[in-house]
Structure 1
Amino acid sequence: MPVRQGEGHWTAGELADVRDRLELEMVDLRNEIAAAESQIAERMNDAAEGAGDDQADAGAKTFEREQEMALTYNARDLLAQNERAVDRIGQGTYGVCESCGQPIGKARLQAFPRATLCVICKQREERR
């Protein structure tokens, strides 16, 4: 795996730790998604049953349903990022910036293992 100048090379143990961390997070995210989808289904049933609710109750139920849907979307996005990082570890492309092709940096990846951009490219992206 590529590293920035001055950093030590990735050891098999370090990569295994990163992969294990990502996979544990993936299990948690899948459980979170399943629970949220169940909540959404319940809220949809509540909406059908609450046909006589006043505007405040209907608005509160809609807000709660939309909030659950947003959380589910975010969890799915994180799950996809984790799956992609695990795939990159397997392919040997983990740690390569997808924008400039330079090493991302071992410390950055240990802090944020889903990173796909080096610090410079990420800063450039955020300025846009």
Structure 2
Amino acid sequence: MSGMTGEIRNAPEGSEASGSGMHQGDAGSDAYDRDFALSVLAKEQDALYEIEQALRRIDRGAYGICEMSGKAIPQARLEAIPFARLTVECQAQWEKEYGNRRFRPSNEVGFAGGNYQDDEDSETVSLDEDDD
């Protein structure tokens, strides 16, 4: 994934690609294709992260336990979404309150070597009670 991301981000744009200018429509299509490819890669990266976290929960003995309610996640849900963190009820509550933001415990929020980064535009929310 990282190799593909680098190729997409470093690809020449517009007139850089052809030495002689490029039609605006072609440049727009190229930009759309690049953004679409990056979006697909981001979703794959998120899925990979969730799978890695599920494996860590297995190691800790916390797999199959809802991270909001502490209740067991039904087997059928785990079969459908093996990396599920929440029960269906808690997932519905989460989506009602936070929309499509990702759920991560506070010790996993941010990407600076595991340290929390205060970013107002973050798409990640923690439900830990002791965080402000």
Superposition pairs for residues 46-65 of structure 1, below 5 Å?
47=14, 48-50=16-18, 52-65=21-34
2:12 is matched with: 45
Aligned-partner SS, 2:48:
helix
CA positional deviation for 1:66: 0.7
Identity %: 32
CA-to-aligned-CA distance 1:4-57 (integer Å, 9 cap, x gap): xxxxxxxxxxxxxxxxxxxxxxxxxxxxx2564265157x13543236001011
Unaligned ranges ≥5, structure 2:
98-132
For residue 119 of structure 1, the aligned residue among 63, 88, 95 is 88
Q: Is the 8 A contact 1:109 1:115 kept in 2?
A: yes
Q: Is the 8 A contact 2:66 2:86 kept in 1?
A: yes
State how far apart, in whole Å, the 2-side matches of 1:120 and 1:35 are.
38
State how far apart, in whole Å, the 1-side matches of 2:88 and 2:73 are.
7
One-letter identity of the residue aligned with 2:83: R
Greater alpha carbon shift after TM alignment, 105-114 vs 74-83: 105-114
Greater alpha carbon shift after TM alignment, 49-58 vs 113-122: 49-58
RMSD: 2.0
TM, length-normalised to structure 1: 0.65
TM, length-normalised to structure 2: 0.64
CA positional deviation for 1:104: 0.8
State how far apart, in whole Å, the 1-side matches of 2:90 and 2:52 are.
22
Aligned residues between the structures: 95
State how far apart, in whole Å, the 2-side matches of 1:50 and 1:62 are.
15
1:76 is matched with: 45
1:10 is matched with: none
Report which of the two has the higher share of helix: 1
